[in-house]
Amino acid sequence: MSLSERALEILDQYNKTEDVIETTKKFVYEMLGPTPDRGDMLYRYEHSIRVAENGRMIAIAENLPVTDTVVACLLHDVGYRECGDDWRIHPQVSADIAAEYLARIGYDPDMAKEIVQGIGRHNLTDTLPEDMSVFQTTIRDSDDIDRFDIIRIAMAMGSSVHEKTNVEIIESCQKQIDIARWYMTLPRGTKTAKDMMDKELTQRIELLEQIIAQAKKGFE
């Protein structure tokens, strides 16, 4: 895809750097461009920071390249603002922007290719390409772990109960439980990622089951 004029103007500010992680954080923040009318982009930036920390933990435990993993995770949603209303295209848009950014800062070409491909694939779920490496899968796993952490649990529980009847609460919570159990069946790149993901999913299921039990109280 061709990059927007806004994206190119931001990219023009970047070249070789001594501190690639801090520089990448700055780039991602500028690309997402949080403003009062786009508070969702601040959430997206904060999400990217948490994903990068998940990636760091997995990389250390599994002997993966730590800096490369952190950089990849920071960049995984970098194209979100460029997608307009079609968030479904954000993996490829983010991959295209990441490719240009990594080239401009002089990143190792082979690792840059691996990062870009992993970003483009980070929204895949149960069907993963045979050539999807552990490194690439770690980007996706790090994202998933944050998407099911305690912050997202609070969001899910809020939407499941707000101004709903008991029947609606039970149906909504059960749907969330079914989704969590399905995510437990998905392949993960490493044991560390699976353990981290299962911990978040188990916590989500237990809390949702408590809500269901409360909604049934006195009606069974």
How far from 121 is each of 7, 34, 49, 88, 95, CA to CA, in Å? Answer: 21, 25, 19, 12, 9
The Cα–Cα gap between 79 and 91 comes to 8
Which CATH architecture does the domain made up of 5-133 adopt?
Orthogonal Bundle (1.10)
Q: Which pLDDT tens digit goes with each residue over 144-196?
A: 999 999 998 898 888 888 889 999 999 999 999 999 999 999 999 999 999 99
Q: What residue segments make up the domains of the chain, in order of their start?
A: 5-133, 148-216
Q: Say what the pTM is.
A: 0.93
Residue 90: the pLDDT is 93
3-state helix, strand, coil in the chain (%, to 5): 70, 0, 30
Q: Which pLDDT tens digit goes with each residue over 30-65?
A: 999 988 777 789 999 999 999 999 999 999 999 999
Percent of the chain residues past pLDDT 90, beyond the cut: 83
